[in-house]
A and B are shown apart, each in its own frame.
Chain A
Amino acid sequence: MSDRVKTTKIPIVERVLEANDQLAETVRADLEGRGIFTVDIIGAPGSGKTALLEATLRALKGRRHPAVLVGDLATRRDADRLAHWCDQVVQISTGQGCHLEAGQVRDALKEIDLSEVDLLFIENVGNLICPVGFDLGQAAKVGVFAVTDGDDKAAKHPYLVQAADVLLLNKIDLLPYVPFDRTVFEADVRLLNATVPILDVSSTTGAGLDAWLDWLDRSPADKGASNPSA
């Protein structure tokens, strides 16, 4: 039998996530065409993504017209929390999925009146690895690290650090109480990404939120510039 088998190697070379990437491009074109700035928020479970969004939405009340898509394995607790501060919140339950994909974003957007929106937050599933490689059609990726998670997290998650358009170092109010060496954290980030802005924030005290809001307000072309407080 085996001596009668003809074996052929077929060269292909095509991106594995081509289908997702194409969908993401469609989503991006739609959102950009409507003048909506879209951020994909990526961080570990417990890094404070939802609390940060709550503080952000509260501060944006009356200033911007945000909508939120929030991905979770299960439960709509995050969506319920965020609904206090924003009329348009859609929960995406990913079930077993460790990240959001472009098709889920496209479907969830059908539940939002986009004519009312100028800023879209996508809170990804709590995970520092999986979401990074899946384009959702966002204009910018936001990486969230917390000082309580340790100063080695940037070094251990190079893809997020490299892909992020801004990094938020959350829970900065707890810095005096935890063994987090900010110099080490920043040095690791800089080796991987020489230009990404690092904003120290605390959703609890409100420290640093102004710089983050300012980053959100700036035109997309300006956002790469580091040190917005200068």
Chain B
Amino acid sequence: MPVVHEFSIAEALAAQVLRHAPASGRVSEVEIRVGALRGLEPEAMKMCWDAVTHDTPLAGSVLRIDLRPWTLTCPACGRAWESPVPFAECSCGEASPRPTAGDELDLVSMTVDEDDDTVGAEADAEAEAR
């Protein structure tokens, strides 16, 4: 396994998802939001996610990564725009726009698939309780 921080993050994320996952159903998709400052490599992250979740109830789930970009602000013309990289020239010619980015690393949502007969099962359980 490659020595990358994506691996530790994937491990922490898997534990977190399992904590939140409902008892019934299968987690089919997990969505995270990541600030550009984190330097997270989406492909490495997905590879680590597959490795970490292999042979667990999360196996086969898709990791969606909402990578938030840098915001560059030009000190000369005041233009602000989003960029995948922190250093870029402004269209006005200014060489050093100021880069800012967030360091958020949040679990945003999970998608759970349930066989629809569980609805029937729930009804049965309710009937039984009565």
A residues apposed to B, CB below 8 Å: 1, 4-20, 73, 96-99, 101, 129-130, 133-134, 155, 157-159, 162-163, 187-188, 191-192
Which residue of A10, A12, A159, A188 is within 8 Å of B39 (Cβ)? A159
- A198: min CB distance to chain B, Å: 17
Decide: A155 and B87 in contact? CB cutoff 8 A: yes
Distance (whole angstroms) from the CB of A188 to the closest CB of chain B? 8
Pair A16/B9 contact, Cβ less than 8 Å:
yes
Contact of A9 among B9, B99, B111 (CB under 8 A): B111
Asked whether, in the complex, the Cβ of A8 is within 8 Å of the Cβ of B37, the reply is no
Given contacts A14-B106, A20-B12, A158-B86, contact A6 B116 (CB under 8 A): yes
Cα–Cα distance between A132 and B98 once the two chains are bound (Å): 21
Which residue of A has the minimal Cβ distance to B110? A10
> Which one of B13-21, B52-60, B76-84 is at the A interface?
B13-21
Tell me, rounded to whole Å, the shortest Cβ–Cβ distance linking B105 to chain A: 5
B12: contacting residue among A4, A16, A157, A192, CB under 8 A: A16
Kindly identify which residue among B4, B87, B103, B111 contacts A8, using a CB–CB cutoff of 8 Å.
Answer: B111
Q: Does B123 reach chain A (CB closer than 8 Å)?
A: no
Whether A16 touches B105, Cβ cut-off 8 Å, given contacts A7-B28, A191-B96, A192-B99, is: yes
